[in-house]
Structure 1
């Protein structure tokens, strides 16, 4: 059962979105988003919200169907659980270096509970180097960014992730005197007026931004190349540079900490005006390499947990924007 469907069941059982969200350990807005995606997927309305929350006819049909599915899944899960703990094996998993801490700790805890005898070896690096390891048979699968099509490899898109410019208002006013307090976006041409840092010129995000800037005839000035986002954030908080960063960084404790203090000292996550393209987060594995059941379970669990984690991040960003408004 998908996360969207599980959230729907919580909402039906509680008939109150606030209580359902608390039960699911998510925000009410996050739960509502799951319901909306489900309604969009089936092209129906599942709840009447006035005068009080109740199921529509379509909602009743879906609820009855999901209860039957849940019974089947519970039976399957019980049957498998009797044997999954006896399964042993190894997974060598490559993950983009800046995504490791975002998803792996939670993922491993959940997976290890189901498959305690499967050893997971984690290799974190930039996408191009991970692809080389995959091609050489040194990885079973990997999570990477903006991977071009390659013969002999299967790709499954996890989601698409926008990029932001991180900068303080104090820094922006120094180079863009007309900058308006509380502005949530930056014009492409203004990017050429500020000094920037980047992770590496081969990094997927740097290449992605480079393509956008070339299309808009904008030349930017990278004054330093740093291997991680946390160090760049430290320079940013000193009002030395701005830097491009993926959406997933918004939930980092260091970024949350940078939201404290005077308004002009806080690090802003700014959207780049007219930038609609997003970075593709993708699972990749050899189409000629057999993936055992425990590896497929790991892959599917990762995709679901990544989506849930990003839903939390997007809620966090909306909260930041509303607080600054």
Structure 2
């Protein structure tokens, strides 16, 4: 199964601490016993039709085996098990620190392994049974998985005092700030140096699309696959950034009462987001219909769900509700961060 998944015997040998020769010999013995050829050896290693049939059958057997172990584990008062979770690359640090500790307090005997990758990859890994569930940021492409909404995100444009003055060439007056509090058009800020995730992230594709429609290019000053550091980089005047309110809510949660509450206008209502920074502005972004801001949790339709996994899903929903509450609470203070 590992050779079929990776199509790389050297990699499997390294992962399993078995020699390449031993694995190759075992595959040949298996082919002789079944009287079929499972792999094409040239020009590169690939599955034959018979190899694909065997691999699919073994995947079904593995799913049944995992289900049996999960059912038996649920009868155990000490509740032993193994939860395999997928997180998006750009959010793995945030999600691990907020979701794993409270779960482990209740399930000390449940082992956890985390895989971080793009959402479309995590979907495939959940479909083939490598993962039990994943939290994703894109639309599902299959009906074989259950998908539950955790949070509908909004995007904000974070920019420092100095960069805002530089963009306008002068001090920004109160009327202009009040107008931007109601939302900005991203295409009006394409000349401002931007901190952004590299391709092929959805956020980067969104920014590139806005610039293309405006007939220009966004001035990219720094690329990093870790949005949790965007605000600190903005604070240092390295550039502006487009940040989802999930990350803003996380800072609020982390800093508790040491934060500075500032107002934003969303959906015609005055709401606040709290951050520790005192030299940043945070403006809602208008007209981004192409941004699919749904954060979801997905898991298999035809797989037994043990109680500890049900509790993890329930706990995750509760934590995301808290994030939404923190981000959307009403307040009457101004929105300078």
TM-score, length-normalised on structure 2?
0.59
For the 8 Å contact 1:127–1:203, the answer to whether it is kept is no
1:239 counterpart SS class: coil
Aligned position for 2:316: 302
Provide the C-alpha distance between the structure 2 equivalents of 1:290 and 1:270, rounded to a whole number of angstroms: 44
Provide the C-alpha distance between the structure 2 equivalents of 1:105 and 1:83, rounded to a whole number of angstroms: 29
Aligned position for 1:174: 166
Aligned position for 2:141: 149
Uncovered stretches (5+) of structure 1, i.e. residues with no partner: 1-81
1:186 counterpart SS class: coil
Deviations 1:24-58 (A, max 9, x none): xxxxxxxxxxxxxxxxxxxxxxxxxxxxxxxxxxx
For the 8 Å contact 1:198–1:224, the answer to whether it is kept is yes
Provide the C-alpha distance between the structure 2 equivalents of 1:207 and 1:321, rounded to a whole number of angstroms: 34
1:139 aligned to which of 123, 128, 131: 131
TM-score, length-normalised on structure 1?
0.61
Report the RMSD for the aligned CA atoms in angstroms: 3.4
Provide the C-alpha distance between the structure 2 equivalents of 1:116 and 1:294, rounded to a whole number of angstroms: 11
Deviations 1:129-155 (A, max 9, x none): 433433443211100102342242221
Aligned position for 1:71: none
1:160: how far off? 0.6
Aligned position for 1:322: 334
The higher radius of gyration belongs to 2
For the 8 Å contact 2:134–2:298, the answer to whether it is kept is yes
1:225 aligned to which of 223, 226, 238: 223
1:288 counterpart SS class: coil
Higher-helix-fraction structure: 1
1:236 counterpart SS class: helix
1:200: how far off? 1.9
**Counterparts of residues 89-100 of structure 1 (less than 5 Å):** 89-100=81-92
Provide the C-alpha distance between the structure 2 equivalents of 1:305 and 1:241, rounded to a whole number of angstroms: 31
Deviations 1:222-280 (A, max 9, x none): 2332121244334322223111111111132599587545xxxx122211133465511
Provide the C-alpha distance between the structure 2 equivalents of 1:228 and 1:320, rounded to a whole number of angstroms: 32
Uncovered stretches (5+) of structure 2, i.e. residues with no partner: 1-73, 261-274
For the 8 Å contact 2:235–2:277, the answer to whether it is kept is no
For the 8 Å contact 2:160–2:235, the answer to whether it is kept is yes
1:98: how far off? 4.1
For the 8 Å contact 1:186–1:270, the answer to whether it is kept is yes
